[in-house]
Each structure stands twice: as C-alpha cells, then as structure tokens.
Amino acid sequence: MKFSNFLFPESKTPDGDFDVIEETLREAVLSEELGYDVVWLAEHHFDGGCAYVDPTTFAAAIAARTNKIKIGFAVAQMALHHPIRFAEQIALIDNISKGRIIVGVGRGTAYNFYEFRGFGIDPDEAHEMLLEVEEILVKAWTTEDYKHDGKYWQLELPVLRPQVYQKPHPPMIRACSGLESTLEMAKEGRPFLMNVQSDDVTVERMEQYRATMSEAGHSDATVARNVADSWVWRNVFVADTDAEAEALGIRYFKEMRVYLQQNRDRMNTSAELEAQSSRTVGSARNSTEHGIIAGSPETVCERLQRVNGTGVGGVIIHFRLGAMPYDVAANSLRLFAEEVAPNFRGGSAV
C-alpha cells in the first residue's frame, strides 16, 4: 500500500497566507525526504481553506524543489479551468517534473457555491463541463490538428506545445464522492479517488467497484491494475501516545470542520444554503469516529488494517489539519513514515 501526503493547508486570515504557503513548500520537501510516494494538492478559492488555492501553479513550485516524489491533484476543479490552458499547464509541469504529475480531476465542490460564483460558473453545469474537459485533455495531449465542437467549448488546436513528458499522456484519475460515480469509473475501467468514508463503506465500495468492473467485461488484469491505481482519503494524526494524539489531533480536526462550515454559512447566499441543506455532507467526514485516525503508531497501524485489506493502491493522508502548527504536523508526518508505513511494506521504508 502506497502512502501520500495531502497538502491542504488552512490560513484563517490573509496576513497568514505567506507563512502557510512557505511552510507547505517545506512540507512537500519533507515528504520527499521521508519517502512518501505522492504529495496531493487541493483547489479551493476565496476562503483560506487551501492557502495556495491554485494546484497547477503550486505543482510547478513543488516540481522545482523536489526530484522523485509524484505530484497529484485531489482535485483540480475542472469547471474553473479553460481546458486548453489547463492542458498546456499540465504539459509544462510534466516536463519540469520529468513525468511526476498525476492529473486528479473533479466537478468541483458540492457545498462552496461561492467558488463557482467567483468564476461566473453555474454549479449545475459543472459535471457536464468535467466530462467535456476530460475528453478535450486527452485529445489535446495526443492529437495534432484537433478540433472540438462541444456544448461549452469550440476549439481548433494545431498542436500542443510543449508535448507531455509521459506518453501517451499523464495519468488522469477522477474523484468520486458517491457510489454512482464510483461505479461509473468501474464500468469505464478507470481508477478513482475516494473521499473520506468509514471503513465499512470503504470495504463495501471497493467490493462493488471490483465486481462492477468484472461485470462490465474488464479482464482480471485490468481490475487489479485499476484497484492498485485507486486511492482513499484519510485524516491522520500520529503522536507518541494515544492520549497525546487524541488531545491534539481531535482538537485541530474539529476546529477545521467548524471553520469550513463557517465559511459556507458566511459566503453562500440564503438560497445556496438552502440547497446545501438538501445535500448530505458526508457524516464520516465530520465524525471523530470515522473522519480522523488519531493515535500512537500502533493504534494507527491497527486502524489502517481494514483499508489495507481492501487491496486499494494507496492512502491520501491529510496530516496538517486546519490551523495545526507546522512543527506539530511535521512530527506526525515523520512518525508515520518511520513507525507506521514500514508495517505495510514488509519492513521497508515508506
């Protein structure tokens, strides 16, 4: 099982943005030094929930400071990007990083309506836009004299420059918040990113994902490859003892969830808040029982056993929760790398 660090840094005020961004770059470098497989980048705007806001720009900065670690998006909100501009940016980062980019895509936030408003996008069109962008990206990376006449974009592209470093193109993986979208990926024979779920839901969903892929006619080798290329998200905090981990980790986790909801209450309109209330915010994501793994290395190992049992390829781990100080998060990151991860890799390094 692969392990990765989800760089999702909170900055509560504009005055703190510079320091948090600098610390997040340090965290990326530390992740490589500790042997993590991937650093994942988020995309959220206007609220300080993700201080660097733009994963493409930030990916380029990380690529220039690192040498081996892969850089993935979890995820880029496709409705907020022009597909050709995004294709060019990914091609450039793919060259800068010498083929370390993983293109995680999604429709965008289901709850932060103000993000769509800020870009002049109708959130009800976001899913259709995602599907159209996915088609454009693959063709832009692989086709000369490409023409596209779609619902949202009409394009004529002689040839994309620079060409992508990875051939035929960088891996593209879609985030799936619900079962329906997960099974859609299974039918298409594609890997997926799973958001925070309880262990029971994770086990059940992975079983359904495998079964649906097989029922759709995909070979055993394809099923195994896609399971190995899929990732699940967990919030994790490791300390020397369970008591210390719970005292710090649970505190920052709860404060993070409150801050995210306060932003929505403050920046969504009344109509948007009403629409939000009709959507169920994942109970696992908000729950201290399912939303965070906090404990000693031994406890965290035990909690990860069921995830490991699903055979999923990797875990996207959010270490620096909310306004957690950098040094506290870095210690958790190091403890996990040195005392947790080797137990899932036959005693080898992360």
Does residue 33 have a pLDDT over 50? yes
104-115 exposure pattern, b = at least 16 Cβ within 10 A, e = fewer: bbbbbbbbbbbb
94 token code pair:
């793919």
Q: Please report whether residue 350 resides in a domain.
A: no
Tell me the β-bridge partners of 316. Answer: 4, 233
**Tens of pLDDT, residues 206-246:** 999 999 999 999 999 999 999 999 999 999 999 999 999 99
Residue, of 270 and 277, whose pLDDT is higher:
270
CA distance 344 to 350: 9
Q: Please report whether residue 10 resides in a domain.
A: yes
CA distance 183 to 156: 33
Q: Please report whether residue 184 resides in a domain.
A: yes
Domain hosting 259: range is: 2-344
Local confidence band at 280 (pLDDT 50, 70, 90 cut-offs): low
Q: Give which of 1, 5, 71 is closest to 34, Cα–Cα.
A: 5
pTM of the model: 0.96
Does residue 256 have a pLDDT over 60? yes
CA distance 347 to 325: 30
pLDDT for the residue 282: 57
Based on the structure, what is the number of domains in the chain? 1
Q: Give which of 154, 165, 144, 162 is closest to 82, Cα–Cα.
A: 154
Q: What are phi and psi of 147, to 5 degrees?
A: -120, 140
Q: Give which of 324, 338, 346 is closest to 36, Cα–Cα.
A: 338
Local confidence band at 283 (pLDDT 50, 70, 90 cut-offs): confident
342 token code pair:
């080797």
Q: Please report whether residue 349 resides in a domain.
A: no
**Tens of pLDDT, residues 153-198:** 999 999 999 999 999 999 999 999 899 999 999 999 999 999 999 9
Q: What mean pLDDT comes out for the span 298-319? A: 98
CATH code of residue 149? 3.20.20.30
